Structures are given as C-alpha cells and as structure tokens.
Amino acid sequence: MNTREQIKIEFLKLIASSSFDKVRISTICKNVNIQRKLFYYYFEDKYALLNDIYQDDLSLNFNISETNKINWKNGAKLLLETYKSRGAFYKNSITVDNNQWHNIFLTHMRALFIRLFNELSANDDRNFYFNATFFSNGWTGIIENWIINDFDIDIAVLIDQFYALIHFTKFNISKWE
C-alpha cells in the first residue's frame, strides 16, 4: 500500500472515531509514521484529503463515464453501501465540512442526470441542465439527510425510489418542453 493510501485509511479511522475538526495532520503523520512535509506533498490540507476521499468514493462506485440507464441502480447501490459502511466517517465529516461533500455530490449527480437525460432522449438536442439540477438537488438532500439520520431508510427502499424516479423520467422526458 502506498503512502497516499495509508494517509487516507488513517484519516478515515480518525474521523470515524472523532470529529473532523479534532483530527490533526500531526496525528495522521504520527500514526502513519511519516514526516509532516510528506503529507503536504500529497495533500494541501485535511480538506484536500477529505475532497480526495469524497471524489474517490463517487468515482469508484458511481463513475460518470461508466454509468448509463442500464447500470444506474447498481452504481447507486454500491455508493450507498460505501456510505453506510463508512457511516461514522461520513456522519462526522459532512456535518462540519463547510458543504464540501454536498457540493461534490451535487455536481457529480448533476452530471449523471444530464448524461441520463441525454441518453433517454436519444437524438433530442435540448439542454437538460435545469432538470438535472432540480433532480440532483433533491437526491443530494435525501442522501445527506439519510447519512445525518444514521441511515434510517433501508438502502433497498432508497434504490427503489431512485429507480422509480429514473422510470418516471424515462416515461415523461419526451413531454418536457
């Protein structure tokens, strides 16, 4: 395992057991047995490290270039399972990260919805930015609340609702003007 990955793993462990604002770079460095300047070689600060983890989880589980109308359900399920398996980390970070997760997730979901709408509308040349922004804001809020509320809704229920939204979209997209 390389140093960058060791730093991420240690950070995940520390955030899972205490709040983001209490985790110090010096503690990460001590626990990984590296000098502080090596940390800064990889990350500008702990917000950059947090950003990297957020981006990695999205890219690995719900990749924009690999997601299509066929595999959306599976991608969403993998992502939600990752969030739940790292529940303490996500709950302890998104409540104090200055909306960093919210903005990253929202941007990612907007891009996925634009891709989905373009795929569902075939040769239609409409710009779906507004619709994608609307849907991604809703989904971001639902998932953020789900994390904050200790994953109070079963993943299967969320996925079914998400998939129903996609089917609704598929059925109605031709009617959007």
CATH H-level, domain 46-175: superfamily: Tetracycline Repressor, domain 2 (1.10.357.10)
Q: What is the pTM of this model?
A: 0.90
In the chain, where the domains are located: 46-175
State residue 163's pLDDT score.
Answer: 82
Indicate the Cα dihedral angle 43, 45, 48, 53, nearest 10°: 80
Helix axes 46-61, 72-85, angle to 10 degrees: 140
**Residues 64, 68: Cα–Cα separation, whole Å:** 8
pLDDT in tens, the chain (177 residues): 899 999 999 999 999 999 899 999 999 999 999 999 999 999 999 999 999 999 999 999 998 888 877 788 889 999 999 999 999 999 999 999 999 999 999 999 999 988 888 888 776 667 789 889 999 999 999 999 999 999 999 999 999 998 888 778 777 777 765
Side chain identity, residue 157: V
Contact between 14 and 28 under an 8 Å Cβ cutoff? The reply is yes
